[in-house]
Amino acid sequence: MTGPSVNGPTLFDAAPPPLTDERLALLTLRFTTQLGPRRIEGLRRHFGSAVAALQAPGRALREVPGLDTRSVAALGDARAQAQAHTRAQTELARTQAEGVTLLFRGLPGYPAALNALGDPPPALWVRGTLPELPEVPRAIGMVGTRAASPHGAAFTRMLAADLARAGVVVVSGLARGIDTAAHGAAVEAGGLSIAVLGSAIDVIYPSENRALAERLILVSESPLGTRPAQHLFPERNRLIAALSAGTVVVEGERRSGSLITATHALECGRTVFAVPGRAGDPRAAGPHQLLRDGAVLTESAADVLTELGWGAAPPAPLPDLPPEQARVLAALHEPRTLDDLQTLTGLPLPEVQTALVLLQLLGLTEEVGGRWVRR
């Protein structure tokens, strides 16, 4: 599946012709002060196009529902509109020069999944080929604390890899901790992963994730050059929720961005999944509260796939291993204790232990909190 490309007429003459390009008009509205997503969409729907909205006289603008006097004044300010138009032209030139795709609400290529929001962004900046994201996309958001526990990070890697092998797009926010683990495991498993940023797509935060970002599809509702800012992260979280059929919260405190994302998911009519943690661990407080509120308890990819009616997870491809090691690794589709592994494999305990040590040396398993997991 391929996303649309940004093609169009040259827009940068010294004396531009009358505005006729809908993309340029939408971007001009995006850069007009006093206008947010709802007002921009209201203008587009009322007049039939952004071009027509920018050409409308003041008396017609005053008839648009939801448009206040300051918004009408901003649209009628010739100097302010010239500045917004120039900024829009410059932004289009930069995106074309840097291979960035701009998607606009109401035009082909814009993800239908974002219709679940009350205020979808009028424009999206995308680096990479965005897959088709219909009203209910085959995508799962995975979020959690930046200070992930070893067990939480290991579980996230296992879950993201299994979902990716099942053809599910993994969506997250490129933050440290759970987000980084989810993105990395999904692409290493051969799947697609979308990172929704709280900055522009040419400003990678945190900087240590620059190499990882090159393997992801990047999405932002901020113009190029926008630095990360506190108010942008809640906006980012609502996009993660809408671009996913459900959101998995792995770890997070009661008051955290992960819980904000879960709230947005519920508002979008999406399913919320939560991974149980250790009692008393503050990082488990958020998921445990979600579970009390009715979230789907999640211990494996099968829980997600079954809940959404997406079939079974394909078995993970096994490397060419001796029989005992292969049996132990195959049993680790979820965290297991030594006793669990002995029962599942039918091997004597010393052979299970030996197999685990050899698998750990190969980088295939690790012990986390008394349980063994795949890496």
Residue 74 CB partners (closer than 8 Å, separation 6+): 32, 33, 34, 35, 80
Residue 14 banded pLDDT, cuts 50, 70, 90: very low
pLDDT at 19: 54
* Average of per-residue pLDDT across 18-26: 81
Residue 20 banded pLDDT, cuts 50, 70, 90: low
Q: Could you tell me what percent of the chain has a pLDDT over 90?
A: 74
H-run or E-run covering 139: strand 139-143
Most confident of 239-243, 318-322, 344-348: 239-243
Please tell me the least confidently modeled range out of 19-23, 50-54, 275-279. Answer: 19-23
Residue 314 CB partners (closer than 8 Å, separation 6+): 165, 166
* Average of per-residue pLDDT across 258-277: 93
Contact (Cβ atoms closer than 8 angstroms) between residue 141 and residue 243: yes
Residue linked to tokens 């006793």: 339
Q: What angle, rounded to 10 degrees, do the helices at 37-47 and 22-30 form?
A: 140
- Of 274, 285, 278, 282, the C-alpha closest to 250 is 274
pLDDT beyond 80 at 267: yes
pLDDT at 151: 85
Q: Which two tokens stand for residue 327?
A: 């049996």
Contact (Cβ atoms closer than 8 angstroms) between residue 201 and residue 224: yes
pLDDT at 5: 36
Query: CB count, 10 Å around CB of 167?
Result: 14
pLDDT at 316: 65
CA pair distance 97, 82, nearest whole angstrom: 23
Choice between 323 and 139, residue whose per-residue pLDDT is larger: 139
pLDDT beyond 60 at 373: yes
User: Using one digit for the tens of pLDDT, what is the confidence trace for 91-112?
Assistant: 999 999 999 999 999 999 999 9
Query: CB count, 10 Å around CB of 197?
Result: 28
Choice between 154 and 30, residue whose per-residue pLDDT is larger: 30
pLDDT at 150: 86
Distance between terminal CA atoms of the chain? 30
Q: Which two tokens stand for residue 290?
A: 């979600």
pLDDT at 333: 78
Q: Which two tokens stand for residue 31?
A: 């850069």
* Average of per-residue pLDDT across 43-69: 94
* Average of per-residue pLDDT across 336-365: 88
Mean of per-residue pLDDT scores for the chain: 90
Q: Which two tokens stand for residue 211?
A: 């190499």
CA pair distance 59, 77, nearest whole angstrom: 14
Where helices occur in the chain by DSSP H, the ranges are 22-30, 37-47, 50-55, 58-61, 69-76, 78-97, 150-165, 178-188, 210-213, 232-242, 257-267, 282-292, 301-307, 323-331, 338-345, 349-361
Residues 114, 120, 124, 126, CA torsion sign: negative
Residue 36 banded pLDDT, cuts 50, 70, 90: very high
* Average of per-residue pLDDT across 270-287: 92
User: Using one digit for the tens of pLDDT, what is the confidence trace for 142-169?
Assistant: 999 999 998 899 899 989 999 999 999 9
pLDDT at 359: 86
Rg, Å, the chain Cα set: 24
Choice between 18 and 294, residue whose per-residue pLDDT is larger: 294
Q: Which two tokens stand for residue 58?
A: 């003041």
User: Using one digit for the tens of pLDDT, what is the confidence trace for 121-143?
Assistant: 999 999 999 999 999 999 999 99
Choice between 287 and 319, residue whose per-residue pLDDT is larger: 287
CA pair distance 284, 349, nearest whole angstrom: 31
CA pair distance 121, 59, nearest whole angstrom: 27
- Of 240, 234, 190, 188, the C-alpha closest to 212 is 188
* Average of per-residue pLDDT across 369-375: 81
Residue linked to tokens 């009358």: 18
Residue 294 CB partners (closer than 8 Å, separation 6+): 272
Q: How far is CA 334 from CA 44, 312, 357, in A?
A: 49, 15, 18
pLDDT at 322: 87
Choice between 256 and 101, residue whose per-residue pLDDT is larger: 101
Q: Evaluate the omega torsion of the peptide bond into residue 350 and state whether it is cis, within 30 degrees of 0.
A: no
User: Using one digit for the tens of pLDDT, what is the confidence trace for 165-222?
Assistant: 999 999 999 999 999 999 999 999 999 999 999 999 999 999 999 999 999 999 999 9
